[in-house]
Amino acid sequence: MYKTKAYSAASETSGLAADTIARRDPTDHDVKIEILYCGICHSDLHSVRNEWSHMVPTVYPIVPGHEIVGRVTQVGSAVTKYKTGDLAAIGCMVESDGTCPNCQAGFEQFCPNLTLTFNSTDKYLGGVTYGGYSDSIVVNERFVLRVPSNLELSGVAPLLCAGITTYSPLRHWGVTKGKKVGVVGLGGLGHMGVKFAHAFGAQVVVFTTSPDKTEDALRLGADEVVISRNADEMQKQAGSFDFILDTVSAQHDINAYLNLLRLDGNITLVGAPSNPLEVSAFSLIMGRRSLSGSNIGGIAETQEMLDFCGENNITADVEVIPIQKVNEAYERLLKSDVKYRFCIDMASLK
Ligand code: NAP
Ligand code: ZN
């Protein structure tokens, strides 16, 4: 066991502050990584403020962060895929049983014995796992990803959650050339959804509550932008979408989007508002529409996504901040004032 610097929250109202945490020494299959950058996901904020208490109550102190990029500083004796000095990345998961049908199929994110990067039972040290707002982390090599060498690292970090969470459902639902795709909410996830849907050749429409994001949406790859609070603009899109990806973090009317789907169209929720959304049966019945959800992606698909980003020069648009600004960043995230992902430069923690 060793001590490392981190930022943690002591309660749902305290905000984040400097702390020292314990990490395990690398075991045979572990990789130790010096963290260079960590993205700020809205899930960090939901967890720090215990907004998902009905599903996953937060254990304090919490060290959030699951968009991690860094450099390998030590490897266990049985590690084969990484060596000291390599770039490496960690996303939302750090361990799974490896034997259940979901793990066997490459869907570790649905393993019943999944260990998340933070706020999950830590089977090595007891207590809960601590995430990436920290100097270093120790993770089983199975959950470590390779980073393409041609990409700017601060823009890579958000790919580990915002990237895979949007890439996976777009692939699953067959988004390609000839499909009309909507992305609801232009935040961290949304802006990656736009980049991927555009890269897959689809016709992309962004739905935003922030008119000032219009120009950016077009630059990121949207063909059209709809201000979702304008009923006339919404009505013009009725019945026209094959697929809509909903990334909204707060309460909103999902029926308004279901009505935009064509026959057999699908909306996939990746946004995770704390309270249930109301669904009108008629929004689904008319047009045999479906509503589904998606949770990050498996390890193999995450690597596929990173490689795709390397080949196509795709990274997140980030605002790099020192860790001392993290509480301010959370307040701005709540106001949808992020273009389009905050990313912590972990050198600021030294
Ligand atoms: P984010 O950067 O804050 O983006 C959310 C966007 O939603 C905002 O930028 C805003 O876009 C829109 N929005 C916010 N409040 C709204 C409201 N009241 N009504 C309508 N639109 C609103 O958050 P994020 O990091 O992308 O995460 C989005 C959600 O996905 C969170 O709930 C997060 O926990 C969840 N998530 C899920 C997974 C998964 O695996 N399923 C993974 C990561 C995150 P506009 O300004 O364009 O309207
Ligand atoms: Zn996340």
Together in a domain, 179 and 288? yes
pLDDT for 108 = 98
Together in a domain, 128 and 180? no
Together in a domain, 237 and 289? yes
Q: What is the pLDDT of residues 26-43, one digit of tens each?
A: 999 999 999 999 999 999
Together in a domain, 302 and 336? yes
CA of 254 to the centre of ligand 1 (A): 14
Q: Among 42, 204, 267, 339, say which to mutate for ligand 1: greatest number of ligand atoms within 8 Å of CB.
A: 42
| Average pLDDT score over residue span 66-86 | 98
Give residue 188's domain range: 162-293
Residue 315: CA count within 13 A, CB half-sphere: 19
Q: CB under 8 Å to 38, separation ≥6 — which residues?
A: 65, 67, 68, 69, 131, 132, 133, 134, 157, 343, 344, 346
pLDDT for 298 = 98
pLDDT for 125 = 97
Together in a domain, 32 and 93? yes
Please give the DSSP secondary-structure letter assigned to residue 160: G
Q: What is the pLDDT of residues 89-132, one digit of tens each?
A: 999 999 999 999 999 999 999 999 999 999 999 999 999 999 99
In angstroms, the CA 71 to CA 40 distance is: 19
Number of domain units in the chain: 2
Q: Is the CB of 185 under 6 A from ligand 1?
A: yes
Please give the DSSP secondary-structure letter assigned to residue 179: -
Q: H or E stretch including 155?
A: helix 153-156
From the CA of 131, which ligand is nearest? 2
Residue 23's pLDDT band, with cuts at 50, 70 and 90, is very high
Together in a domain, 319 and 271? no
174, two tokens: 């067959």
Ligand 1 atom nearest 213 alpha carbon: 47
Together in a domain, 71 and 103? yes
CA of 335 to the centre of ligand 2 (A): 18
% of the chain residues with pLDDT over 70: 100
Together in a domain, 335 and 262? no
| Average pLDDT score over residue span 151-172 | 98
Helix, strand, or coil here: 94?
strand
pLDDT for 209 = 98
How close are the terminal C-alpha atoms of the chain, in Å?
20
227, two tokens: 């201000």
Q: Is the CB of 336 under 6 A from ligand 1?
A: yes
Q: What is the pLDDT of residues 188-227, one digit of tens each?
A: 999 999 999 999 999 999 999 999 999 999 999 999 999 9
Q: What is the CATH number of the domain that holds 18?
A: 3.90.180.10
Together in a domain, 167 and 139? no
Q: What is the CATH number of the domain that holds 275?
A: 3.40.50.720
pLDDT for 347 = 98
Together in a domain, 238 and 305? no
Domain boundary among 276, 293, 310: 293
Give the type of residue at 140: N
Q: What is the pTM of this model?
A: 0.98
Q: What are phi and psi of 173, to 5 degrees?
A: -95, 15
The per-residue pLDDT of the chain, averaged, comes to 98
CB 170 within 8 A of CB 184: no
From the CA of 317, which ligand is nearest? 1
From the CA of 212, which ligand is nearest? 1
In angstroms, the CA 194 to CA 316 distance is: 11
What are all long-range contacts of 320-324, with beta carbons under 8 Å and residues at least 24 apart? 320/37, 320/154, 320/344, 320/345, 321/345, 322/348, 323/7, 323/133, 323/348, 323/349, 324/348
pLDDT for 223 = 98
pLDDT for 138 = 98
Q: Among 114, 189, 244, 295, say which to mutate for ligand 1: greatest number of ligand atoms within 8 Å of CB.
A: 189
pLDDT for 272 = 96
Q: What are phi and psi of 265, to 5 degrees?
A: -70, 160
Please give the full DSSP string across 205-267, using - where no structure is assigned: EEEES-GGGHHHHHHHT-SEEEETT-HHHHHTTTT-EEEEEE---S---THHHHTTEEEEEEE
The tokens 């009317």 sit on which residue?
A: 253
Residue 319's pLDDT band, with cuts at 50, 70 and 90, is very high
CA-closest candidate to residue 337, choices 184, 158, 187: 187
pLDDT for 261 = 98
Q: Is the CB of 47 under 6 A from ligand 1?
A: no
Residue nearest to atom 18 of ligand 1 (CA): 250
CA of 190 to the centre of ligand 1 (A): 7
Q: What is the pLDDT of residues 235-289, one digit of tens each?
A: 999 999 999 999 999 999 999 999 999 999 999 999 999 999 999 999 999 999 9
Domain boundary among 260, 275, 293: 293
Together in a domain, 285 and 317? no
pLDDT for 178 = 98
From the CA of 332, which ligand is nearest? 1
Domain boundary among 293, 312, 329: 293
Residue nearest to atom 27 of ligand 1 (CA): 42
pLDDT for 240 = 98
Together in a domain, 156 and 169? no
